[in-house]
């Protein structure tokens, strides 16, 4: 992102928050403050406004509502809708404590309508501003064993962000003139051996061009390291786990409270789902399967059955494919809306899973993926989760290496605040269709590429673990 884009982003973000604050403060002053036993003066009003803005900012930031340049209109609409709903609901709960009784629901609905109106105007205007002032970055792609056209097509799915003008193989690096980098806004470095990547990075740094890197396992692990300056040499310290004992206790308490509350609130939906499954084909309501959690320990995961009975012949692991004929009509709906995952709240209470963490995989799939990605078991450094980085930022059909990278990002960045942000983001993802797609050509292409490169030496463009 260049300086112009950064300035536009800051301005649009500030304008959005100011407009939302003005809308909220107007309603608070006219509809709420005047009915208090003792009306709030400046400090009281400022505190109420600060609480509202803080909650709204956290929701917007977590759900990507500020990212007008990056996210499409539908994504922004969902982000703002969920953010405004959560913020206004929490403010309504706070008003109950302030007034010591439930207040009129019409007032908070009026605030919500104003918030939505501001959001709609902001989304339209910010998109218009970015369209008029910004363009996709002209990029140069460096690649190794991967198909450059495949990578190019992947990036150009977002031509508003990336325009891949040229591609260079690492085999041609020695003859490459680094001055050519000045003709591009960004350089994309695909997965490749460290020696080649380091050489390209140094060239880009010297010329001063932006670099977009496909990370390796080692890159993600080092992100969680801390600096240590006790001798005349820079050092990084990488601990075994990013979660302290205290954080683990707080996380467990939160897991139990969240799951118990979730089961109570979702019980009507779960009952209707159970009836619908039973009525459709008369088969069992629940589907239980062995999965692996922290340390590779196996447990029985519980889900609503979304496929036909005996969908996996000989009990052999078989991932759902796109338009899979084994998925029932009810199953298609509950998979798309994530309702099939609700029984896992029981697994969380039992201690097999956490609310947030890497998705639990079957042992045979872990063993299979580990043939190509030796570091894949690193995902089990923490307890498996109902939602997490890979589920939110990847897809069902994301390849094993990308799933590993996403999950390691969570392991290395863990915090209680991050868990809250990911739970908020989960509310949004329910409405994003692509995250529930089945396995397709992308997954198969990854496996074939690893088979093709597995066993080659470093200077032949491959690394097993990155």
pLDDT digits (tens, 9 = 90+) for 325-341: 788 899 889 888 889 99
What residues are paired with 211 via a beta bridge? Answer: 187
Q: 121 or 375, which is more confident? A: 121
Helix residue ranges per DSSP H, 100-141: 105-133
- What does the pLDDT read at residue 452? 55
Report how far apart, in Å, the C-alpha atoms of 201 and of each of 76, 148, 179, 207, 391 are: 34, 19, 14, 10, 30
Identify the burial level of 255 via C-beta atoms within 10 angstroms of its C-beta, where 0-12 means exposed, 13-18 middle and 19 or more buried: buried
Mean pLDDT estimate for the chain:
84
Alpha carbons 367 and 371: distance in angstroms, whole number: 7
User: Looking at 27-36, 80-89, 299-308, 393-402, which range is the least confident one?
Assistant: 393-402
User: Looking at 75-84, 419-428, 454-463, which range is the least confident one?
Assistant: 454-463
Task: Please report the domains of the chain, with CATH numbers, ordered by start residue.
Answer: 3-133 (no CATH), 137-214 (3.40.50.2300), 245-460 (no CATH)
pTM: 0.77
Q: What is the mean pLDDT of residues 13-18?
A: 94
């Amino acid at each position: 992102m260049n300086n112009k884009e950064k300035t536009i982003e800051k301005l649009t973000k500030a304008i959005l928050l100011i407009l939302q604050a003005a809308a909220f403060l107007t309603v608070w002053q006219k509809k709420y403050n005047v009915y208090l036993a003792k009306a709030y003066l400046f400090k009281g009003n400022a505190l109420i406004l600060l609480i509202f803005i803080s909650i709204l900012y956290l929701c917007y930031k977590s759900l990507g509502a500020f990212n007008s340049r990056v996210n499409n209109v539908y994504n922004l609409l969902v982000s703002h809708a969920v953010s405004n709903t959560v913020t206004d609901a929490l403010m309504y709960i706070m008003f109950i404590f302030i007034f010591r009784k439930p207040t009129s629901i019409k007032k908070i609905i009026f605030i919500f309508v104003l918030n939505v109106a501001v959001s709609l105007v902001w989304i339209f205007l910010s998109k218009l501003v970015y369209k008029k002032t910004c363009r996709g970055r002209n990029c140069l792609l460096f690649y190794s064993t991967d198909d450059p056209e495949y990578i190019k097509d992947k990036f150009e799915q977002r031509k508003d962000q990336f325009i891949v003008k040229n591609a260079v193989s690492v085999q041609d690096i020695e003859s490459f003139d680094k001055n050519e980098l000045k003709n591009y806004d960004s350089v994309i470095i695909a997965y490749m051996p460290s020696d080649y990547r380091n050489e390209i990075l140094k060239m880009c740094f010297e010329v001063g061009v932006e670099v977009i890197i496909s990370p390796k396992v080692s890159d993600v692990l080092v992100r969680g390291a801390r600096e240590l300056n006790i001798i005349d040499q820079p050092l990084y310290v990488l601990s075994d786990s990013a979660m302290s004992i205290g954080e683990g206790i707080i996380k467990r308490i939160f897991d139990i409270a969240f799951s118990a509350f979730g089961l109570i609130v979702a019980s009507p939906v779960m009952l209707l789902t159970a009836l619908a499954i039973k009525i459709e084909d008369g088969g069992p309501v629940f589907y239980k399967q062995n999965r692996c959690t922290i340390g590779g320990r196996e447990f029985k995961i519980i889900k609503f059955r979304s496929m036909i009975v005996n969908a996996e012949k000989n009990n052999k692991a078989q991932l759902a494919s796109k338009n899979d004929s084994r998925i029932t009509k009810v199953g298609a709906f509950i998979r798309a809306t994530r309702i099939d995952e609700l029984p896992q709240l029981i697994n969380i209470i039992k201690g097999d899973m956490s609310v947030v963490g890497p998705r639990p995989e079957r042992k045979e799939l872990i063993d299979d993926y580990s043939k190509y990605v030796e570091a894949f078991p690193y995902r089990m450094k923490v307890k498996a989760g109902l939602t997490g980085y890979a589920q939110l930022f990847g897809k069902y059909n994301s390849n094993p290496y990308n799933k590993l990278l996403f999950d390691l990002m969570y392991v290395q960045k863990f915090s209680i605040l991050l868990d809250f942000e990911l739970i908020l983001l989960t509310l949004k993802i329910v409405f994003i269709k692509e995250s529930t797609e089945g396995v397709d050509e992308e997954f198969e292409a990854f496996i074939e590429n690893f088979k093709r490169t597995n066993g080659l030496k470093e200077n032949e463009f491959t690394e097993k673990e990155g």
